[in-house]
Structure 1
Amino acid sequence: MRIYILIIMIVFPVLVFGQQILNGEVSNSIDNDGIHVFNKTYQKYTITDENGLFKIPARVNDTLVFSAIQYKLTSVVITSENIKEKLFVLLEEQINELDEVFIKPKLSGNLLSDTKSIKTKKQITAQTLRLPNAHVVPPSQPERRLITAKSTIVDALINALSGRTKRLKKQVTLYKKTKLEDEVFSSFKEHIVYTFYIPEDKVYDFIFFASEDKLFTQIVNTKSEVLIYEFLESKSHQYLKINKDEK
């Protein structure tokens, strides 16, 4: 505990006079989760949580840009009061007009079937509305926890010394690995069962076996169906041999 106190006393002046973490809240009547918050001056990015809360590195006179499909683009210049206290932001609701709709002249009167014939020129997304950072994929819940654990110098040091940062990194790695395993299951289940002859009730077990290989993440992330297929085929031979020997 004395070591923690000493570290805090050393880094506290750096925290005060250097980079600071701004606490903020977006308060609106509709969904406040996943709103993009971009420090245009400092080039830092985050998103709000389910309560509209966020933390972001900021300094006086930095400009924060708030964007989401459901709200109008809003810019806020940070003042000394915002740094000392909490920044509250009220966003104005965005009314998104749809493109012209083309309806076939003959309708059956069946709402379910007729709606299938209604088409628009393009889908409304964050990309089509050209929102800032629309290309950025929001971090997952494990990634958010890790970001929060390193949000300030003090938090980063304490969480590193306590081992919490290490545990959170493992959770992020496990989350990403599980996501890739699900992608492989969705795309290659038929091949695994009918081409590689893995029993259907052993498909997940086989994918888990394949994901233990250090090359799994690298190969699946290439998004190349040929490379992934060849990798899974080679792993299927190993898997079947191991299970045969065990019998």
Structure 2
Amino acid sequence: MKGKVIASSDLGSIHILNITAQEFTVTNDKGDFVVPAKLNDTILISSIQYIPQNIVITETTLKLQYLTINLEDRVNELDEVVVGKILTGDLLLDIGNSDAKRDINFYDVGIPGYVGKPKTQKERKLYEADAGKTFVILPLFVGINIHKILNKISGRTKKLKSAVKLEEQVTCMNKVKSEFSNMLFADYEIEEHLKTDFFYYVAEDPKFEILCKADNDFEMYEFLLQKLYMDETENIELKD
């Protein structure tokens, strides 16, 4: 029995099964097929994207020796669902409607906690080495902070203070380099490592640390320009 499947798309590889005779074939890319069949055999046309059809071979079909089969698309419709909360676009309102819970902090459990700027590793080491008073005088009692005294005597406290200061200096230098490098060297064609050398040089100036703490971009930029053009003037005078 020859035949042709007509469908919206994907005509190839549609299953054509003669359930009665247990014969099987698939359509080609144009939807054509050939399958063994005789009177009263049941032909099943099946594909995942189309609604399946059962066709019984009649005498009329046998005389024609040809089947034309129109398939309908299989459409799976789902009921409307809402996943989670509906968002309105109002941030404060959406946060209020959220089921999310904030993390527990030290206030929730009734203990004191640090609320300042998080310390770096070097700052934590310095705090651990130099925290607290050297002497604590109470009625009938004098407390001595041996840990703090030993750190000072051994030079550990001084070393840690220098490390913290250097870390702050490098952090500020990198920030300044990132913000002002392009403006400062816009008219210069120099290699990147020379730009970095300039900022290391500038960071050695005592005024640099003061300006870092002031956090004034305008004053910092003026200072960098002075250092840059002052160096140029000095180099010219040396050459002359």
**What is the TM-score of this pair, normalised by structure 2?**
0.45
Larger RCO, structure (CA 8 Å, separation 6 or more): 1
**What is the TM-score of this pair, normalised by structure 1?**
0.44
